[in-house]
Structure 1
Amino acid sequence: MCPQNVHIVTGSVGSRGTLAEFLIRKLEHFTSLSLEDKQALELAARQRTKRIRSRDDIIHEGDVPQSINLVLDGWACRYKTLEDGRRQIIAYLLPGDLCDLHVSVLREMDHSIGTITAVTVAEISGESMRTLTAGHARLAQALCWESLVAAAIQREWTVNIGQRTAFERLGHLLCELFVRLRSLGLTNGPTCELPLTQAEIADTIGLSVVHVNRTLQELRSAGLISLRGRELTIHKLEGLQRAVQFNANYLHLDREGRHLDANEP
């Protein structure tokens, strides 16, 4: 039996189009992929997909991971919860993100992955991923970069909580999410989706909800951002980046991985 919050689709998913589109866009920031690489990713993504409603879990801490989840659409997050219910969000997972490339080697999950919006994921078995990387050298290279960038984002978040002011923490998070979405083609000029509640932002940057609300007002008053419902507009991206000391180098979106292509056949 499938949980009521999950809809399973196996095999072809008909009119959904190219399921691996956002993953391919992201990986091509690191290296160029051949048509065969892209087709192999698409085939893996189409084997089994799962739709999960908003504010629910994809996988719980303590569960035995059976597959690698690829976010096809929607927003998800990685989080830890203390025994008294306090929660720390430790990553946001956007379309094209893999929920831990090597998670299938773990005996049990040491964190949970939950949805922010309704999310569709592709379940890729560890065996399928190993076959993919063994047969496609550039794809293996790009996925290695993807893992390194995920670790770089985690380091930046540690600095965010440990050293930045509330204004810098929140502004830095907004810059990162905007730049990541823009790299996927998911922004509209200076505007992007932001489906996060103030409580979720508080759980991300280590502030109270009251403090988050006050800091949002500071960003608005400075003329840097506006929020309307689920939409964020950054009016002065370069100004916001300077104000919060945001440097996007840790996202490695400048196609640095392409220098390795010279050594490939």
Structure 2
Amino acid sequence: MSTSAGPTPPRVTIDRHDPVHRRLEQLVPGLSASIGLTQRRFAPRVVRSRREIVHEGEAVAGIWTMRAGWAALVRHFADGRRQVQHLLLPGDPLPLERDAAYPATIVALTPVTLIDLDGTWLPDPALLDDALRRHTMATVHRLLDATARLGRQVAIERFAHLLLELRDRLRGVGLASDTHFKMPLTQEMLADTLGLTSVHVNRTLQMMRQQQLIELEGRAVTLLLPAELARMADYASPIDHPVAMH
């Protein structure tokens, strides 16, 4: 697993407002208390932007989980093209199964901080395995949504669906409201995620602004008409049960 150069970061604690705590509670209510999450101090790993976190086929021990930053499962092609297959957000575990080889390369899209939830301190490792199973099923559903986006939706529908998915996932870990969140993705990253060119991404974003569907200011996204976006994208209810940001 890749790490950044430099001094070792200090150990960190996790409180109930932390994305990791919120995500575990989404997956298995009561899990954080059962494993004593807030009583532990974790040694974080930091990966710089655009660096590989895990290479396809690599098996990494532990249950490394995103505490901060955005990453992605990606597929690289020989001619230099790249497809972002799935976005990883704060709170998301990396593995789909304990100690299994990763099915895709994971790249940090921004600086990423990871913590390992595994360890001898766990009273019952099966508790985290249950959370991983639920995380895996949620990931499968999102991969199916991504397949539908790329296969049957036009550009503006793809954008609407992706923005609503990101809103719901971030809201579940306290990083979004019903209409507002931060999205640190460049137009190049969005193009790789949505199967479009950067020019098409720019044109579609301008169209959505002109139609007063969204506002963009730096990294901040505001969904002006979320119900219309959901209708346009045929967006289904989220499979998780998000907790609204306070």
Shorter chain as denominator, the TM-score bin is 0.7 to 0.9
Equivalent residue for 2:84? 89
- TM-score, normalising length: structure 2: 0.85
Equivalent residue for 1:155? 144
- Identify the match of residue 180 of structure 1 among 146, 166, 169: 169
Question: Is the 1:6–1:50 Cα contact (8 Å) retained in structure 2?
Answer: no
Aligned length: 242
- TM-score, normalising length: structure 1: 0.79
Question: Is the 1:6–1:53 Cα contact (8 Å) retained in structure 2?
Answer: no
- Identify the match of residue 24 of structure 1 among 21, 26, 30: 21
The 5-angstrom pairing of residues 89-168 of structure 1 reads 89-102=84-97, 104-106=99-101, 109-125=102-118, 132-134=124-126, 136=127, 140-168=129-157
Equivalent residue for 2:62? 67
Following TM superposition, by how much is the alpha carbon of 1:114 offset from its aligned partner in structure 2, in angstroms? 1.2
Following TM superposition, by how much is the alpha carbon of 1:29 offset from its aligned partner in structure 2, in angstroms? 3.1
1:246 and 2:197 are equivalent in the alignment = no
Equivalent residue for 2:214? 225
Listed one character per residue, the Cα deviations across residues 7-48 of structure 1 (whole Å, up to 9, x for unaligned) are: 5447x43xx543893233223334421664251x4567x443
Listed one character per residue, the Cα deviations across residues 97-151 of structure 1 (whole Å, up to 9, x for unaligned) are: 0112315222xx44211112211101345x75986433x4xx5444322221111
Equivalent residue for 1:258? none
Listed one character per residue, the Cα deviations across residues 70-114 of structure 1 (whole Å, up to 9, x for unaligned) are: 0001111111101221101011111110112315222xx442111
Unaligned runs of 5+ in 1: 256-265
Q: CA RMSD in A?
A: 2.8
Going from structure 1 to structure 2, the CA distance change for 1:71 and 1:228 (only over 3 Å counts) comes to same
Unaligned runs of 5+ in 2: none
Question: Is the 1:22–1:72 Cα contact (8 Å) retained in structure 2?
Answer: yes
Question: Is the 1:24–1:38 Cα contact (8 Å) retained in structure 2?
Answer: no
Going from structure 1 to structure 2, the CA distance change for 1:157 and 1:34 (only over 3 Å counts) comes to closer
